[in-house]
Amino acid sequence: MRHAHTVEQVRAAEAELMARLPAGTLMQRAAHGLAHAVLDLLDGGYGRRAVLLVGSGDNGGDALYAGALLARRGCRVEAWLLSPRAHEGGVAALRAAGGRVVRGVPDTASHTERAERPDVVLDGIVGIGGQPGLRPEAVAALDALAGVPVVAVDVPSGVGVDTGELDGPHVRAALTVTFGTHKIAHLVDPAAAACGVLHLVDIGLDLPDAPLEALQPYDVARLLPRPAPDAHKYIRGVVGVRAGSARYPGAAVLSVAGAASGLCGMVRVVGDPAVTARVRESHPEVVGEGRVQAWVVGSGGDEHAAEALATATGEGVPVVVDADALAHVTGRLPAPAVLTPHAGELAAMLGVERAEVEAAPLAHARRAAWTYDTVVLLKGRHTLVVRPDGRGRVTTTGTPWLATAGAGDVLGGLIGALLAAGLEPYDAASVGSWLHGAAATLASDGGPLVAGDVARAIPDAVRGLPGRPVL
């Protein structure tokens, strides 16, 4: 599991550890990890040039000590001190190693010949305690070095560390080297998109439970329901799908495709006879009405969505509520549920503008989960799954090619199958989202795809998990 902790949690853990270690040990651990990550990025240090952008905090100290290590590896290192104060020990260490230290942004910085441009910039401007946005001198330094790859120290300066939000200028990194644990900004957009590749350095922190986490392949393999040797189709679970309409028949086909990927024992489809007939043409294994352990409702439901939602939630089994059915959720539902809106749908449910949700997805997903007292899955580049208590998971699998019509219908069906197979809503939503992204990556193989490709790749995504679970 990849964990993301808050600034308060990290600082408490650092204070506890520093009380047991010689002074400066923690910073040296961070600096060594940072320096080696930069050396890996540069494929060595000899003959390279690095510029350190240094603020007044400890991450500026991390950058300075890392710069000293780079200088000892033959790298030409120059530190630009962007604050009246800088870590004195770090400045001394860099100078002793042969590095150069200047105050502010050098007058010649924006006019340096291309051949003299640095190979890398280390962003030590603002640490995890900083507020979103940057001061003018930091913006000027970044402008002078535009086009040079940036390695962010702990987090890209200027992002909202505990929120994942942006408010003003910020660093956009090629690589972010963080220490002890991931922070929320590393996983939650829009800040996560500014982090580039993430590299975690273990510095020995003892941390409490994290408010946000990201499943990894071993977690998915552990959570995924697997058929017992004596299993039959009813034991493995039956999911019902109420989706599609005369206007959107394909939504039912794709919802069933996600549900019928082999993760539960049976799929039932209920609705317009013409729509269900079309579904059975594509999926002859699907059957009609009967008892189910979970429902999927709403995709392409059009004017029938309200009735489908009321009927499904009246049975008391878990329900995946998607698309058109979301407009009819006005309060706590009478059955366990997973709501699966995209940003526009969540905005309508909360009475805000879509842009507000996109600027602060975690805050709005948490608000919706609390408001409706259920699990909310907010679709996006990094999909969020949030419980009513505010804890959440973020999905980091997937590909930009997954932004295609019908992909959400497949996801809803997949989550419904996992609910029917016995997972709780929180686990079903987060495992389903992870598999959906992994299947899309496999199906895409670097190129375009359509929603049906994602459904067909789900079995391969499961086979690729550690331990090779058997469908």
**CA distance linking residue 409 with residue 111, whole number of Å:** 53
**CA distance linking residue 59 with residue 122, whole number of Å:** 10
Please provide the distance, in angstroms rounded to a whole number, between the alpha carbons at the two ends of the chain: 24
CA distances from 121 to 105, 109, 160 (A): 13, 13, 21
Q: What is the pLDDT of residues 282-304, one digit of tens each?
A: 999 999 999 999 999 999 999 99
- Secondary structure (3-state) at 305: helix
Give the pLDDT confidence score for residue 108 in this predicted structure.
66
In CATH terms, 217-463 corresponds, of 3.40.50.970, 3.30.2020.10, 3.40.1190.20, 1.10.10.10, to 3.40.1190.20
pTM of the full predicted structure? 0.95
Give the pLDDT confidence score for residue 244 in this predicted structure.
94
- Secondary structure (3-state) at 156: coil
Give the pLDDT confidence score for residue 467 in this predicted structure.
79
DSSP-assigned states of every residue in 56-121: SSHHHHHHHHHHHHHHHTT-EEEEEE-SS---HHHHHHHHHTT-EEEESS-TTGGG--GGGS-SEE
Strands (DSSP E) along 227-368, which ranges? 238-242, 266-269, 294-297, 319-321, 337-339
pLDDT by 10s per residue, the chain, length 471: 999 999 999 999 999 999 999 999 999 999 999 999 999 999 999 999 999 999 998 999 999 999 999 999 999 999 999 999 999 999 999 999 999 999 999 986 654 554 489 999 999 999 898 889 999 999 999 999 999 999 999 999 999 999 999 999 999 999 999 999 999 999 999 999 999 999 999 999 999 999 999 999 999 999 999 999 999 999 999 999 999 999 999 999 999 999 999 999 999 999 999 999 999 999 999 999 999 999 999 999 999 999 999 999 999 999 999 999 999 999 999 999 999 999 999 999 999 999 999 999 999 999 999 999 999 999 999 999 999 999 999 999 999 999 999 999 999 999 999 999 999 999 999 999 999 999 999 999 999 999 999 999 999 999 999 975 444
Structure tokens at 393: 């998971």
Name the nearest CA neighbour of 382 among 250, 230, 213: 213
Q: Which strands make up the sheet holding 212-214, listed edge to edge? A: 182-183, 2-5, 212-214, 392-394, 384-386, 375-378, 337-339, 319-321, 294-297, 238-242, 266-269
Note the Cα 214 to chain centre separation in Å. 7
Q: Do domains 2-213 and 217-463 have the same CATH topology?
A: no
User: Where are the domains positioned within the chain?
Assistant: 2-213, 217-463
**CA distance linking residue 213 with residue 218, whole number of Å:** 14
- To the nearest 10°, report the CA torsion of 135, 146, 61, 7: 60
The superfamily (CATH) of domain 2-213 is YjeF N-terminal domain (3.40.50.10260)
Give the pLDDT confidence score for residue 130 in this predicted structure.
85
Q: Residues 289, 292, 297, CA angle at the centre, nearest 5°?
A: 80
